[in-house]
């Protein structure tokens, strides 16, 4: 199966329909949801993605961008699971569990 990350398309100014159309035009079977996707964009993307023939094959952690990091681009290292600071480690765990929930 050929899949491509949503990192390929900038979600900052791209409409959901435009993103899905761009992926479908490539004749690929799946996509990976990048950590650059905001909660707002994800909520707009969910239904059209479900009704498309694209399969989500993977999701980056942390997904979508955690609300405590609004205004940031997101990233896999927003919080460290290995942090010695309890609050940061707990946030990493909390948002990793949320990412897993979206994957399910």
Whether 81 and 96 have beta carbons less than 8 Å apart is answered as: yes
Residue 76 has pLDDT above 80, yes or no: no
**Confidence at 18, pLDDT banded by 50, 70, 90:** confident
Domain boundaries of the chain, sorted by first residue: 3-103
Average pLDDT score over residue span 92-103 = 93
């Amino acid at each position: 199966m050929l899949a491509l990350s949503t990192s390929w398309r900038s979600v900052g100014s791209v409409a959901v329909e435009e993103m899905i159309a761009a992926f479908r035009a490539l004749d690929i079977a799946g996509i990976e949801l990048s950590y650059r996707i905001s909660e707002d964009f994800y909520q707009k993307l969910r239904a059209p993605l479900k009704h498309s023939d694209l399969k989500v094959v993977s999701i980056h952690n942390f997904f979508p961008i955690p609300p405590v990091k609004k205004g940031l681009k997101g990233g896999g290292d927003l919080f460290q699971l290995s942090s010695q600071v309890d609050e940061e480690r707990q946030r990493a765990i909390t948002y990793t569990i949320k990412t897993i929930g979206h994957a399910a």
